[in-house]
Each structure stands twice: as C-alpha cells, then as structure tokens.
A and B are shown apart, each in its own frame.
Chain A
C-alpha cells in the first residue's frame, strides 16, 4: 500500500491549522489510482474553534457542499453548526510522470461523489482528529489511548482535563501525517452522518448573495456573445458586421471557427462573436449581424427522417451486444409472444443558468472561473485553445445553476478562451436561452423494439431488446466503432441474468445532432421501455404487474454488473421498494372508472428506486396526476434531507420530461428555442401529493443525483394504461391522450 503525503499540515495566515491530506495514490480494493492519482483535502481549524472544510466537487444542486463536509466533520468530531465550507479550485499539479490531481478526482457526474468519497473523506476527518489527539496526549504526557474526543475538544478522563482543537491546531499542523489509517467511528456513534442537514449555503441563496458563474465580475472584463450556426455543422460563409459595430458599447466582432463535420467537439459550432462593454450591448450587436451560412452536410435532416432511418434499420440485422441462451429457439417454443416499439426523443438539458464562462488568457497563463461539472475538462479545453501548459491554467469553480450532464462538456469554456485570446483581455461569455436550447449535447434519441416469449404458465422465457439510436459517443475521440453502443445499452441491466434466453442488439442511426450525457443517461430510456414492456407482458398474459416484477426480481442475491454502478446489483432490493410504494399508494384498492395506479422500478448507478403513480384520466383524455410515491434505497443516507431533495427533484425532472419535452429538427436546424416551446414543467403540473421514502440498506451509501429519475415515466404511463387503456409508447406524452380518446 502506498500512502504518500501530497501536502502536509501547515499554518494558515489566519493562524488556523491547515491539514493537507492525503495521501493515497493507491489503496487496496480502491481504484482511485486508476482515476489519476492522489487525493487531497483541507481541514482548517480557526482560532475560534470553528472549522473550514474544503469541498473539491462542483456544487450543481446535488448537495455536495453539504454532504461532503459532513463526512469529514463526523470523523473529525466537531459540531456541524461550527463548520463552514470552502470551494476548492482545480488541483492540477505537474509531476515527472505527467499531471496529477492534488484534491483527487474533481467532477460531478455519474452520482459518484458520496460513493467515491465515503471512505476517503471520513479518513481525512479521522486523521485530523488523530493528529489533534496526539498533540494533546503529548502535552499531558499520557498515551493517546487515554484521550478521546468530544465535539471540538480532546478530553482525558484520567486527568480530568480537556482542551479545544483550536488550542492544539498550531502544533498539530507541524506533525507529519500519520502513516497508519485511523479507526473509524461506529455507525451508532454518528451525530452528523444520517441526520438531516440543510443546504449549507441557504442563507446566501435566499438573500441573493450566492455567486454563480454568471455573477463573475472582474475589473476590465469584457462581455461577449456568439451567434452560432443554426445549421448542424454549418459554417460562416461571410458576415457583415457594419451595423453591429455601430451599437454603442460593441468593441469587436470576429469569426469563431467550429469543428469540421465529424470532428471532435472542442466547441459546438462555427459562428461570429460580438464583444462589448455590457451583456446588453453584446446582445444588441449580435441581433444586427448579417451572416451568410453554409448550411452544411445535415441540411436535409429532420425528426421525420430520423425515425424513418431508425425503422429501416430495425428491419435488418444490428450489432449483437449480448446473446444469452438460445433466443430464437425460446421464441419459437413460446406459447405467447409479446412485442412493442417505443420512441425516445432528443431532449435538451436546459439548466436554469445559461452557459457562461469567464476566461482571462495572459502571457504564459490563464484564469478560468466557470460553472462546470468538470473542472479538469475546463482546464483541458483552455489548453487546447491556447497551447498553454495545463499547470498554468487556473480553474476556479463557482456554484453551478444546474448541471444535468450539460456541463460535463466545456465547449463554452473553450469559446471564452478563444475570445479572450483574440482580444487580449478578460472576458465573460454569455449564452442566451436560445443559444442553450439550440446548441446542446442532447440526450440521444432512439427507437426500441422489445419482444418477449412466455410459456403456458406466463413465465417469461425469452427477451430481446433492439435499439436503433444516435449514441452519445458520437465524435468522441478514441472510441472504437464496436464500443459505440456502450452508453446506450447497459448490457447487464435487468432482465439480463434473470431471463436465460436474451439478446440485445444495437443499430447506429446517422445524425448530425450533438449528443451527450443527460441525467441518468441511457437509464431514462431503458427504464421507460423495460418497465412499460413488463406491464404490457402482464396485461397480455393476465398477470398482475407487481407480482410479475416480484417473481422476476426474485430472492435477494448479488448479480454481476459490469457497467457503472457495479460490480454487483441485487434486483430483490427493487422488490422491497416496489412493495413499499405499492402499499403507500394502496395498490390493491378498488378505484372508480378512469382512476388507476401504475408502478415501476429501476437500478441506476448503484442505487435503487421505485415509483407508484395514481392518475385520473377523463373521458376526453384530460390527465390528472393525483399522487406520486417515490422510494429509494441508496444504502445509508448521509444527509436524509438531501436524499429526499434529490428524489423529489429527480421525480419531477423525469415527470416534466415525460410529459412535455422533445427537441425536434427540421432542415438541419433545431426547432425549439426557449421555454415557450420547450416547456419545462411548472408547479401546476406537479401534484402536491408527492411522497418520498428512504429505505436504508447495509452500511455504505451510494450516490443520489440520478436514481430518482428513471422509473417515474413508466410508472406514469403504466398508470395511464390502467386508467384508460391507452398505452403510451412514444415520449413525450403531450396531447396523445386527448387524441387517442377523442
């Protein structure tokens, strides 16, 4: 085991104890080494015995600025009310071997923060506590074992004495970081982990003081906007900026070259940048630009042509990515075969804070202040644009006004760097909402075909899923063609390993639409189709949808799971959640005509969730969602208040998307542009009766950012079928019910 100290303790200017930790480039059973090296963190004990705890992950609303310091504070043993939080910048350091990350992997993606930092951050706290105890024991001339801690103090019962951490901090800072891993508290002794904690920044948020990327203001800063090609992979043929330059405040106008068709995306599109002394001046200048566009290679692409292509593909043979047992024989022997196709649209991320970024490129260095989910990606983007050494590019993270996967790509950072480099001055690039809706790495769209074979008893003996989609690895460098399917079909997902004769097949749809990670990526599509299809099987064979699932999920056991969220999963944990939500929604109750419930459940990135939805559908297709019950099993809940928030938010995100949201294309251009035609749900669409339940399991937490989303959409459409007999196989729902029942 390597246990290398990256930063040792030291004094801060304010006289606090700054513990730079640690420590591990490799720990047995932990794959941190594969993620790029050392992990580090700061604990600072102030003279007034309050503590500042650094957070290395970006806060996008998932609650890491609360949950991460809770892990440290628990083992450090301090009162939570005495903790304040500091956002760490990107910790990039150049070594002889390349680059390393002194605060560990920094990013917000894949619901990994709590899972990946659970052991490490508790160790940070416990190590700091160990060092404080060592100083006290040395002063009192007793063994460290004769001392214990109480929040903020080291206590020696034998001597009947106690001392505050702040009185020990200066000496503790001089100690080498202990080489032995400190013992952790027993779960029964937790006074912070597992207790509800409010958002740490809440007072700043409700008083308008919280700083997001868009609020960055640096003396001498310019403001920029870009008119990007409205055509997918279009280019600027020529432009006339004479009117734009007349707008008071406009200082410069120039072309920005985007990637050529098929090339990796450093930025999304070619365009024309307008630089000004205020945001409004830049926007006004942009409005009067005259640009002649080369409409590019996708000018005939449309949503209609996309679905036509997908249907043609499904009539042929695709890439078989999983093939268990003998599907064809099992289907041939089946006494009943059920089949259905489902359509999943492109969707836009639409975080509330439109993309923006501050960059100042100077001689030999650059500064970035960005709302980003991937600060190392931001650093890399600026290096690509400028050619600067990565260690000379500083990346500061702000609070982020929503991520949802959009800010895993740093195209807007690269754009800002291009502009700052060109004008030789600091700049804040601002996207409008229209820019954001029309230029995104959209959630992939796809056509799914499912087929199941059942025996005489209604047991499912064969299962196949065939998907024709435009995958999110499109134009990603260094991805082999045969691996393109991987983020679209997670081949170990249920019902793989449960149904013995199973085949999964992928077809690549050609499209010029940029694609990327959208909260719970392919789980949103696959949960919808699989959980819808289970109900279709149940109805076709006269079985109860809940009982069918309980039978398939089976007894508690770990199944191998090779994709993100593994290495194992236990489908029985879904059964436990389903029974809970079914009970809470009164699943078996008799309901009046037009009123019914639906259920669904899904395993996402290590966590388990289930939803039950009660709806009423009128004779003319008006939908009224009466009640939603959501339950999650994320192991142990570090911050139950935060877990509930993510479950509520994920549920509402999934609901909003299923009800309303679709990005369409006509003549190679995205049709939607703003919230009037990309209609995120408002409160009136969300039922007041939305319950959340946490069912603890085991002794470790999983993440929570994405689990709450996938199963709400199929629970809703299963409820709709039960209420009115209309099966929704195409998202979003929109006015399908009114059309079907008219």
Chain B
C-alpha cells in the first residue's frame, strides 16, 4: 500500500508499485487533466508538481511518490475556484489551440515562475521544454511574462 496526497486529499494505491503516477491519476483517481503524451518523460503533457516541483508523472513510479504531496492541474486553482495567475494569463493570452498539452505547460510554467519570478525569453525557452504540437509557443511565452508581472505585483 502506497500512500500520498493528491490535491490535498490523502490517497492510497495498492497495485503494482511500478505503475507510473500518470496512470494512477488517470485510471484510478479519474484525474484526467494530466495527459499521456509519450510515456518516456519527453513531452511534458503529464507534468504535475511533486512536493512543489514540476515532475513528469509518466516516469514517476508509484513507489517513488510515497508520502509525497502531488498537485495536478485540477488542484492548481484555489478550492473556491480562483484561478492561479498562470491559468489566468493563459486565458488572457488565449494560448490553447487543441489544448491537450496546456495543463502540463501550465504546471511547468508555475514551477518556472516559482523559482525565477522574472524570467527572460531565454530563461523561458531553456526551462519550458514541453512540446506543443499545435505551436502555441509564442503565446505561452507571452502568458508567462504576463503571469510574472501579475505575480510580482502580488495581485
């Protein structure tokens, strides 16, 4: 039995300890906002926060998350539904096209801004390694700058 927290709720998992967190979230907890894209930790569609840091759920085994606190895209807004400034910036810049990768992009962007509140274009390009097949990179970059401004103002 492996126990951990997802979006502040305690969960336990009694299946194969090698099961990637991705499939526990999706098939067992029905948290489908975390997406399957590659299964090899390359594309970032499955990005979640494990103890506050962006991590790829498809290569994080169940055994590795015991006792950890996990946040998924569903848990990023406040319990009252107030969006995280990064989510709001994604809306304000009208970022998504198909939308499939955007949950992972947002989780990566939140981590980036937590560690670097005022990133340059180069910082963004080097840290934002998630793939967007639709090519929304221009708007992602703008949305990160916008969120950076909002978060530094503390609004």
Whether A674 and B103, one on each chain, are in contact in the complex, defined by CB atoms closer than 8 angstroms, is no
Bound form: Cα–Cα A63–B94 in Å: 11
Given contacts A217-B30, A652-B137, contact A675 B42 (CB under 8 A): yes
Q: Are B98 and A352 in contact (CB under 8 A)?
A: yes
A residues sitting closer than 8 Å to B (CB atoms) are 59-63, 196, 198-199, 201-203, 205-212, 214-215, 217, 223, 248-249, 278-281, 284, 350-354, 399-404, 430, 432-434, 641, 645-646, 648-653, 656, 674-676, 680-684, 686, 688, 690
Q: Which of B116-155 contact A (CB under 8 A)?
A: 121, 124-126, 128-141
- Further contacts, 16 of them, CB under 8 A, given A202-B94, A206-B102, A208-B31: A61-B98, A61-B99, A198-B94, A205-B90, A207-B87, A208-B72, A279-B27, A280-B19, A284-B16, A352-B131, A402-B133, A403-B98, A653-B135, A674-B42, A675-B37, A683-B125
Asked if A652 meets B121 with Cβ closer than 8 Å, knowing A353-B100, A354-B37, A433-B39, the reply is: no
Partner of A352, one of B34, B94, B100, B139: B100
A300 smallest CB distance to B (angstroms): 30
Q: How far is the CA of A162 from the CA of B31 in the complex (A)?
A: 47
Contact of B136 among A211, A432, A645 (CB under 8 A): A645
Residue of B nearest to A688 (CB): B121
Tell me which residues from 73 to 110 in chain B have a Cβ below 8 Å from any Cβ of chain A. 73-74, 76-77, 83, 87, 90-91, 94, 96-103, 106
Complex Cα distance, B32 from A430, in Å, reads: 14
Nearest chain-A residue to B31 (Cβ)?
A208
B68 at the interface (CB under 8 A from A): no
Q: Are A278 and B35 in contact (CB under 8 A)?
A: no
Do B38 and A433 have beta carbons less than 8 Å apart? yes
Inter-chain contacts of A645 with B (CB < 8 A): 94, 97, 136, 139
**B49 → chain A, closest Cβ, in Å?**
13
Judge whether B131 and A682 touch: CB under 8 Å: yes
Given contacts A248-B16, A352-B131, A675-B40, contact A648 B100 (CB under 8 A): no
Say how far A55's CB is from chain B's closest CB, in angstroms.
Answer: 15
| CB-based contact B133/A680 at 8 Å | yes
B38/A401 in contact, CB under 8 A: no
- In the complex, chain B residues whose CB is within 8 Å of the CB of A211: 32
Kindly state the separation between the CA atoms of A401 and B97 in the bound complex, as whole angstroms. Answer: 9
Select which of A61, A201, A680 is within 8 A of B131 by beta carbon: A680
In whole angstroms, what is the CA distance A202 to B97 when docked? Answer: 9
- Bound Cα distance from A684 to B129, whole angstroms: 8
Which single residue of chain B is at the shortest CB-CB distance from A61? B98
Smallest Cβ-Cβ distance to B87: which chain A residue: A206
B42 and A648 form a contact (CB under 8 A): no
Complex: A196 Cα to B92 Cα, angstroms: 12
Write the nearest CB–CB distance from B150 to chain A, whole angstroms: 14
CB pair B28 A649 closer than 8 Å: no
Complex Cα spacing A645 to B19, Å: 37
Does A675 contact B72, Cβ atoms closer than 8 Å?
A: no
Q: Which residue of B lies closest to A437 (CB)?
A: B38
The answer to whether B83 and A206 have CB atoms under 8 Å apart is: yes
Q: B102 and A205: CB pair below 8 A?
A: yes
Query: Which residues of B are found within 8 Å of A60, using beta-carbon distances?
Result: 98
Q: Could you say which of A214, A217, A648 contacts B139, with CB atoms under 8 Å apart?
A: A648
A645 to B132, CA, bound (A): 13
Is B136 touching A205 in the complex (CB atoms < 8 A)? no
B32 to chain A, nearest CB (A): 4
Give the 3 A-B CB pairs with smallest separation, nearest first: A208-B33, A652-B135, A61-B98
Check B20 against A280 for contact (C-beta < 8 Å): yes
List B contacts of A399 (CB < 8 A).
Answer: 98-99
* B106 and A206 within 8 A (CB): yes
Contact indicator B94/A199 (Cβ below 8 Å): yes
Pairwise interchain contact A683-B137, C-beta atoms closer than 8 A = yes
Q: Is A280 a contact partner of B23 (Cβ separation < 8 A)? A: yes
User: Is the Cβ of A207 less than 8 Å from the Cβ of B74?
Assistant: yes
For A197, the closest partner residue in chain B by CB is: B94
**Are A201 and B99 in contact (CB-based, < 8 A)?**
yes
Partner of A400, one of B73, B98, B130: B98
Q: For the complex, give the distance between the alpha carbons of A214 and B36 in Å.
A: 9
C-alpha gap A209/B30 in the complex (Å): 11
Residues of A within 8 A of B90 (CB): 202, 205-206
Asked if B35 and A401 make an inter-chain contact with CB atoms under 8 angstroms apart, the answer reads yes
- A250 nearest CB across to chain B (Å): 12
Residues of B within 8 A of A433 (CB): 37-40, 43
Does B45 lie at the interface of the complex (its beta carbon under 8 Å from any beta carbon of A)? yes
A199 CA to B95 CA in the complex, in Å? 9
A–B pairs, 27, beta carbons within 8 Å:
A61-B98, A198-B94, A202-B91, A202-B96, A203-B91, A205-B90, A205-B96, A206-B87, A208-B31, A208-B32, A212-B100, A215-B26, A249-B15, A278-B23, A280-B15, A280-B20, A352-B132, A354-B37, A404-B133, A433-B38, A674-B39, A675-B131, A682-B130, A683-B141, A684-B126, A684-B129, A688-B125
Assembly CA distance A684 to B138 (angstroms): 11
Q: How far is the CA of A674 from the CA of B83 in the complex (A)?
A: 34
Q: State the CA gap A59–B98 with chains docked (Å).
A: 7
